[in-house]
Amino acid sequence: MERSTELKPDSLKVVLPKGRLYERVAELFKDAGIDIERASERMYGLANKDFDMNVKVMKPQNIPKLIEMGSHDIGFTGFDWIEESKADVCVILNLGFDPVRIVAAVPEGATKEQLLRRKIVVASEYENLAREYLDREGFDYVLIRTYGATEAFPPEDADMIIDNTSSGRTLREQHLTPIDTLMESSTRFIANKKVLDRRRDEIEKLKLLFKSVLDARERVMLEMNVSDEKLTDIIKVLPCMRAPTIAPLYNNEGYAVKVAVKKGEVKELIPMLKRLGATDILEYELKKVVA
C-alpha cells in the first residue's frame, strides 16, 4: 500500500506520550498493524488502510487535559496524570505499561509520626495528589512543585517527597523510605467523551486490536502429538482459553493438539505433558489473540 503522511483535518487526532513511553506505545501500534511515520518535526502520520489519523507527541503530564478540551481525540498517558490533572476523559483500556506506585517517602530514620508534629517541606511533581494526601493525613506543610529529580531534594531541601517508583531502587539509592502509597498507576488509552460518542466504531476497533496484541504477549501456542490412549489424560491437564484444538493425524495414528497457554505456565506444563506421553511438542509466539 502506498503510504501518505498528509495531515487531514477530519483525521482522528492522536497524541502519544513523549519520553520512555513513546517506544512502548509505538510498538503497540506496529504490532497492531499500524505504522507511525514522521510527517514533520512536530507531527506524525499513521499509515494503514483502515485508519486515518494525525499524531502528535507531547509530554504525558499534558495529555489528559488536552484530550478533555478536545485538542486531541484519543491519547495515551499514565493514570497518575489523569488523576493529577482531574481530567474528565474516558479510559478505554489499561495497557499496563510502566506500572508505578505514587508514594510518600522520607529520609531513612524519619517517621510519619515525627513529621506530623512539626511543619515540613514536601517536594513533588504531583501538586494536586500531594495536597490531597497531606491534607487528609493532617500534615502542616509547605509544598515545593518540582520538575524532575524530586528524589534529590531530601534531606537538605525537603523532609518528604511524593513521587512515582517502580522497583524502589532510586529511593533506596537516595536513602529514602516509603511511608504511604497514594495510588498505583500504569499507561491508559483514553478518549475525549464527545469524540467517543461520534467515532465509537473507530475507537472500539483500535481497542480490539490493542487488546488482542496485549493478550498475545501473555500467551504462547503449544502444539503436540498425542496417542489415542494418552489423549484423555493430557486434555485434563491442559489450561486453555476455551478448549484445545484437536485434529486426527494421518492414518489415524493419534491426534495433533493445539492450545494457547500463559507464558508463565509453560515451564511446568511442558515437562508434565512429556511425562504424560505427549510427543513432538512445539512452542511458538502469537501475534494477536481475540477471545
* Together in a domain, 191 and 90: yes
- Report pLDDT for 43: 55
Does residue 275 sit within a domain? yes
* Together in a domain, 80 and 195: yes
* Together in a domain, 81 and 67: yes
Does residue 6 sit within a domain? no
- Report pLDDT for 38: 60
Domain count within the chain: 3
Does residue 2 sit within a domain? no
* Together in a domain, 36 and 149: no
Among 34, 27, 23, 16, which Cα is nearest to 205's?
34
Full residue range of the structural domain in which residue 145 is found:
100-184
- Report pLDDT for 4: 47
Does residue 133 sit within a domain? yes
* Together in a domain, 45 and 173: no
Does residue 5 sit within a domain? no
* Together in a domain, 172 and 119: yes
Among 28, 36, 79, which Cα is nearest to 210's?
28
* Together in a domain, 75 and 106: no
- Report pLDDT for 42: 56
The C-alpha R_g of the chain, in whole angstroms, comes to: 25
* Together in a domain, 193 and 122: no
* pLDDT per residue rounded down to tens, the chain (291 residues): 344 445 566 789 999 999 889 999 999 999 998 887 665 555 555 545 556 788 888 999 999 999 999 999 999 999 999 999 999 999 999 999 999 999 999 999 999 999 999 999 999 999 999 999 999 999 999 999 999 889 999 999 999 999 999 988 999 999 999 999 999 999 999 999 999 999 999 999 999 999 999 999 999 999 999 999 999 999 989 987 778 899 999 888 899 999 999 999 999 999 999 999 999 999 999 888 887
Among 69, 85, 161, which Cα is nearest to 77's?
85
Contact 15, 55 (CB under 8 A): yes
* Together in a domain, 191 and 64: yes
Grid cell digits, residue 19: 519520553
Does residue 236 sit within a domain? yes
Largest separation between any pair of C-alpha atoms in the chain:
83
Q: What φ, ψ does residue 87 adopt, rounded to 5°?
A: -75, 135
* Together in a domain, 74 and 140: no
Grid cell digits, residue 50: 483502515
**CATH code, domain carrying 45:** 3.40.190.10
Among 60, 80, 75, which Cα is nearest to 186's?
80
Distance CA 87, CA 255 (A): 55
Among 194, 175, 210, which Cα is nearest to 290's?
210
What is the full DSSP assignment across the chain? --------TTSEEEEEEPTHHHHHHHHHHHHTT-EEEE-SSSEEEEEETTEEEEEEEE-TTTHHHHHHHTSSSEEEEEHHHHHHHT---EEEEE---S-EEEEEEEETT--HHHHTTSEEEEEES-HHHHHHHHHHHT-EEEEEE-SS-GGGSTTTT-SEEEEEESSSHHHHHTTEEEEEEEEEE-EEEEE-HHHHHHSHHHHHHHHHHHHHHHHHHTEEEEEEEE-GGGHHHHHHH---SS--EEEEPGGG-SEEEEEEEEGGGHHHHHHHHHHTT-EEEEEEE-S----
